[in-house]
Amino acid sequence: MTTSINGMARRFGDDVNTDYIISSRRKRESLDPAVLKQYLFETIAPEFAASVRAGDIVVAGKNFGCGSAMEVAVTAVVGAGIKVVLAQSFARTYFRNAVNNGLYPIECDTSRIAEGAALSIELGEQVIVRCEGMTEPLQAAPIARDMLAILDAGGLVPYLLRNPSF
Amino acid sequence: MSGKTLSEKILSAKSGRDVRAGDVVICEVDYALGTDGSIPMAMDYFAAMGGERVHAPRRLLFALDHYAPAPSPKAALLQAGIRRFAKEQGIPLFDVGEGIGHQLVVEKGFAAPGRLLVGADSHSVTYGAANCFATGIGSSDLAGVMKTGKVWLKVPASIRVRLHGRLAQGVYPKDLALYLAQLLGTDGATYETLEFAGDGVQSLDFEDRLVVANMSVELGAKNAIFPYDEACRRYLEGRVDDLSGALHADADAIYSGTLDIDLASLEPFVAVPHQVSGNVRVETLDATPVQMVFLGTCTGGRTKDFRQALGVFREFGQPASGVQLVVTPASREVLLELTQGGELAELIALGAVIVTPGCGACCGTSGAIPEDGANVISTANRNFKGRMGNPTANIFLASPEVCAASAIAGHIASPRMLLAGHQSR
């Protein structure tokens, strides 16, 4: 299945660890994404949580989601209405948790995408990323079919409800 | 078609397909570990998946190790819920005080050649020392295994790490792990396997390999895997019922890269705050005072580690005044060995604070929390800001010998530096 998503780029740098995405201090208070989204990226971008809009696209450098494997670092992002993260590369556990929670982790060269740029992304086995101001689309890593099936279902929970034995 | 790496062989067997690096497979899992850090969220996901009875309770292992003993009523409540669930479902449970889940998976013989193990904790990579495929997963993945017995995995490309020769005296597997982190950086092996090979492997015993495999995740690796040989067999025999799954990589397997490491050229390293890859030679840090020394964790909390540290204390004396020595055996078996061998009494006589076997001080969940601004030197695997529960503390990582020598000196030191100090007096 191919889906198109349009949204505004919200820029971050390299090595954004899961604690920067959502502080583990907040995790002790609640695991509810609706609560945690108020504190999203508070350590490195205090203005983010108030200004994020559903449909925004997080754009980062290399090794996004490194450090602890805590899954709330994905569910809090999903809770804010974000459906796609573009990064140069992802930490492995963040990538897994993203797939399992229906957050599309897309690997591409993000170096020329600026804060606030309008993005248009076609999500399928082949991924095409178009950025306002660029003539050519950006090359993105393809998504394997089994992974795409989980993502398109909205994550592992809805996927296994539909396919009870995988 | 080309030959296969160890990861490609195991994941082919477990998925029933002939797969290579880059393929995505759905695999039957031999064992899956959950901890009190990851099970509560997995139980929620399991319920959301419509789960009632788990697929294969005897293939799940629950360990209450992150909050051991429970530091708050909230943690105690979560643990009570896990105990109830495990009992209802017939899932083996390692309760508070039995030790760190990763150590128990190895000690109790769940990790064995050719098996696929996953754990909802990043240091599940440790079991690769036993010639199996072992990797960390999230809580949703654990719930998926509870529901179906299966997990989806991308078959990783492999970096071949060829070890040559042997480590010099005073240099330990921890130094090898820190050297690899320095060489590859914190994301240098992301999504990939570190497959160990070469004549130098045989100079490392099984417990040494656990240290190296454990720290592979700090380089971003999906897993680390060691060959099956005599040292592996010796440790696993008597613990594992079936050693027939041993595998070797094919000679024509394709690797994404090869590293050649001369073990004899390595020196004692220390990782400086707040990155595991920020390593320097121990001599450069001798003006760094320490207030806490931590011996323990799934990296450096085994009997052998405490014996190495005690060797230094016996030769050079007590911890300096103002240094808190914290000792956390990785498991009850380790604690018993130290008790029976007399080492525990020696550690107590040195003034060590003995903490319940478990994750404890390493992740700041229970155990000893460093004071504001304290410098800590530790046998652990991570030195991130806030890791031990106080974001103003600075955590240095080193081998048990360097940690012990630093306790005695009151500043960062190696036994060689202590010896030089004695001789110059």
On whether any CB of chain A is under 8 Å from the CB of B90, the answer is: no
Measured between alpha carbons, how far is A59 from A48 in angstroms, rounded to an integer? Answer: 13
Beta bridge partners of B289: B411
Tell me, yes or no, whether B235 and B275 share the same domain: no
Domain that holds residue A53: 3-162
Q: Among residues B263, B296, B315, which one ends one of the domains?
A: B263
Q: Which amino acid does the sequence have at B341?
A: G
On whether any CB of chain A is under 8 Å from the CB of B386, the answer is: yes
Count of domains in chain B? 2
The token pair at A103 is: 């957050």
* CATH assignment of the domain containing B56: 3.30.499.10
Please provide the distance, in angstroms rounded to a whole number, between the alpha carbons at the two ends of chain B: 66
According to the model, what pLDDT value does residue B211 have? 98
Tell me, yes or no, whether B254 and B331 share the same domain: no
The token pair at B92 is: 């083996």
Measured between alpha carbons, how far is A77 from B286 in angstroms, rounded to an integer? Answer: 44
Which residue of chain A has the CA closest to B49?
A157
What is the arithmetic mean of pLDDT over A39-54? 95
Q: Among residues B244, B263, B282, which one ends one of the domains?
A: B263
Sign of CA dihedral B158, B162, B166, B170: negative
Sign of CA dihedral B225, B227, B229, B233: positive
On whether any CB of chain A is under 8 Å from the CB of B300, the answer is: no
CA Rg value for chain A: 15
The token pair at B65 is: 């190790």
Residue B94 inside a domain? The answer is yes
Domain that holds residue B29: 6-263
Tell me, yes or no, whether B25 and B134 share the same domain: yes
- CB B24 to CB A100 under 8 A? no
| Bond from prior residue into B113 cis (ω within 30 degrees of 0) | no
Q: How far is A132 from chain B (nearest CA, A)?
A: 30
Which residue of chain A has the CA closest to B391?
A25
Q: Among residues B240, B263, B286, which one ends one of the domains?
A: B263
pLDDT-wise least confident of A111-120, B93-102, B264-273, B355-364? B355-364
pTM of the full structure: 0.95
Tell me, yes or no, whether B38 and B122 share the same domain: yes
Q: Provide the strand spans (E) within B269-323.
A: 269-271, 279-281, 292-296
In tens, the pLDDT along B203-241 reads: 999 999 999 999 999 999 999 999 999 999 999 999 999
Residue B16 inside a domain? The answer is yes
In tens, the pLDDT along B66-94 reads: 999 999 999 999 999 999 999 999 999 99
Checking if the pLDDT of B424 tops 90, the result is no
Query: Given the DSSP bridges, would you call strands B279-281 and B269-271 parallel, antiparallel or unpaired?
Result: antiparallel
Count of domains in chain A? 1
Average confidence score pLDDT of chain B:
96
* CATH assignment of the domain containing A129: 3.20.19.10
- CB B141 to CB A17 under 8 A? no
Which residue of chain A has the CA closest to B22?
A144
Tell me, yes or no, whether B211 and B275 share the same domain: no
Q: What residues in chain A have their Cβ under 8 A from chain B's Cβ atoms?
A: 15, 17, 19, 24, 31, 62-63, 66-69, 71, 89-93, 95-97, 100-101, 144-147, 150, 155-157, 160-161, 164-166
What is the arithmetic mean of pLDDT over B253-279? 96
Tell me, yes or no, whether B243 and B379 share the same domain: no
Closest CB to A71 among B25, B138, B220? B138
Measured between alpha carbons, how far is B340 from B326 in angstroms, rounded to an integer? Answer: 20
In this structure, the number of other CB atoms found within 10 A of the CB of residue B345 comes to 11
- Which of B187, B191, B222 to substitute to test the interface with A, most A CBs within 10 Å? B187
Tell me, yes or no, whether B195 and B321 share the same domain: no
Tell me, yes or no, whether B415 and B290 share the same domain: yes
Tell me, yes or no, whether B274 and B383 share the same domain: yes
Tell me, yes or no, whether B53 and B84 share the same domain: yes
* Residue appearing with tokens 């509810």: A32
Residue B158 inside a domain? The answer is yes
According to the model, what pLDDT value does residue B239 have? 97
Position A67 confidence tier, pLDDT thresholds 50, 70, 90: confident
Residues of chain A with Cβ-Cβ distance to B189 below 8 Å are none
CB B337 within 8 A of CB B310: no
Checking if the pLDDT of B425 tops 60, the result is no
pLDDT-wise least confident of A33-47, B250-264, B320-334? A33-47
According to the model, what pLDDT value does residue B167 have? 98
Checking if the pLDDT of A29 tops 80, the result is no
Query: Given the DSSP bridges, would you call strands B223-225 and B158-164 parallel, antiparallel or unpaired?
Result: unpaired
Tell me, yes or no, whether B143 and B72 share the same domain: yes
- CB B386 to CB A101 under 8 A? no
Tell me, yes or no, whether B192 and B324 share the same domain: no
